[in-house]
Structure 1
């Protein structure tokens, strides 16, 4: 994965970074399970990756919502 020190400034860059993160999150459980079972494993199938990306997308959307809520709470005047 390429990590750039430059800030994300366009919607296209943000979309690419999100896709990269979804790919990383989606592959994690597959590789972890294969390693735990002691199976040598190659690449997950496209079907497995597609299903895992859908779950990862739900997780990432919930995380983004939490971050927005947290930022709004931190920006509000007064005690938290």
Structure 2
């Protein structure tokens, strides 16, 4: 994954970064569960990644909602 200090300025960039983050979170969930279950760190299968991405999407959506609320609250305080 490429990390850039440049700000995200388009919806396409934001969508790509979200996809990258979902993939990273899904792989992290797989590794965490595999380690907890005593399995090795093999490459996750497509089914595992799909399940992990669904969970990661829920968490990321909640985080995005929180960020929007925080931004709105901060904008209201600045007025």
Q: TM-score range by the shorter chain?
A: 0.7 to 0.9
Looking at structure 2, the residues matched to 54 and 36 of structure 1 have their Cα atoms a distance apart, in angstroms, of: 20
TM-score of the aligned structures, taking structure 1 as reference length? 0.84
Query: Which aligned runs of 4 or more in structure 1 are off by greater than 6 angstroms?
Result: none
Unaligned runs of 5+ in 1: none
Q: State the structure with more CA Rg.
A: 1
For 1:43-65, what per-residue CA distance to the aligned partner results, in whole angstroms no more than 9, with x for missing partners?
11101101110111111011100
TM-score of the aligned structures, taking structure 2 as reference length? 0.85
C-alpha spacing 1:35/1:76, structure 2 compared with 1 (3 Å): same
Name the residue aligned to 2:9.
Answer: 9
Please say which of residues 3-12 and 29-38 is displaced more in the overlay: 29-38
Unaligned runs of 5+ in 2: none
